[in-house]
Amino acid sequence: MPKRIYLFATSKSEHATNIKSLDVRFLKPDIDFSKYDYLIITSKQTVKALEQYDKKEFIEIPALCVSAKTAVAYEEFGGKVLSVGDGYGDNLVKNIKEFSKDTKWLYLRAEMIASDFVKRSQDEGYSIDDEVLYVSECSKEILDVRVNDDSTLIFTSPSSIECFLKNNTIHPDAKVIVIGTTTAALLPKGVKYQISKNTSIESCIELALE
C-alpha cells in the first residue's frame, strides 16, 4: 500500500493531503519606492502584499526574484523582472554582484527569514534596505495534524518544519522530502531526508511518487 503523502505548504497538490503550514498576516509600512533602483522579491506572498499599494509607485521598478515561480507571479501581477535566482535565497548574492555597488535595492520580505544574503551583500558594500510586508504564523491545521508513522512528509519551508514539530515528531519510518538545503537545515539531527531536484512543489511531489 503506498504511503500517504502530506504536503506542508501554502499551495496544494492533488496527489497529497494538503496541510496549510502558515497563516499570513499582511502589513503595509510606508515606503518611498522612488528611492530604489531595484526590488528583491523572494516569495509569492510578497507579491500579494504589494496589492495593498498603488501600483504606479513601484510597478516600473524591476525586481530580482528568487525563483522562476516567483518571477511568474510578479510578471502576472504586471511587474518587470530584472533577474531570476536559482530558488535559494542564500545564492542571491551572486545575482546582486552582477550590478554596480551604486545600485539601491529594496528587499520586501517576511518578518522571519532564513537567509542572510542581505547582510553578506551589505558587508561587501552593496546598498540594500528592507521592509517587512507580512508576518507568517503557524496555522491551526499544522498544529492539529497527526500523521501515520510511515507517511511521506513534504516540507517546503523552514517554518513548515518548525510548526510541524511543535506538536509532532518525525518517525524513523517516515519518508521526508524537503524543497531545499535551507529547509533541510531545520530538520532534527539524525532525520534522513531527500532534497527535491528543483525548488518547486511539483518536484517534491514527483520525488514522493517515485
CATH topology for 5-21+139-209 is: Rossmann fold (3.40.50)
User: 118 near 107, Cβ under 8 Å?
Assistant: yes
Pairing of strands 194-195, 127-138: unpaired
Q: Model-level pTM?
A: 0.72
The pLDDT confidence band at residue 202, using thresholds 50, 70 and 90, is very high
Most confident of 6-15, 32-41, 114-123, 175-184: 32-41
The reported pLDDT for the residue numbered 114 is 76
Does the fold of domain 25-137 match that of domain 5-21+139-209? yes
Neighbours of 68 (CB within 10 A): 16
Domain range annotation of the chain: 5-21+139-209, 25-137
The contacts of residue 166 (CB under 8 Å, 6+ apart) are: 138, 143
Q: Candidates 3.40.50.300, 3.30.200.20, 3.10.20.30, 3.40.50.10090; correct CATH number of 25-137?
A: 3.40.50.10090
In this structure, what C-alpha cell is assigned to residue 2? 503506498
Residue 169 CA to chain centroid, in angstroms?
A: 23
Digit-coded pLDDT (tens) for 71-102:
999 999 999 999 999 888 889 999 999 999 99
Identity of residue 169: T
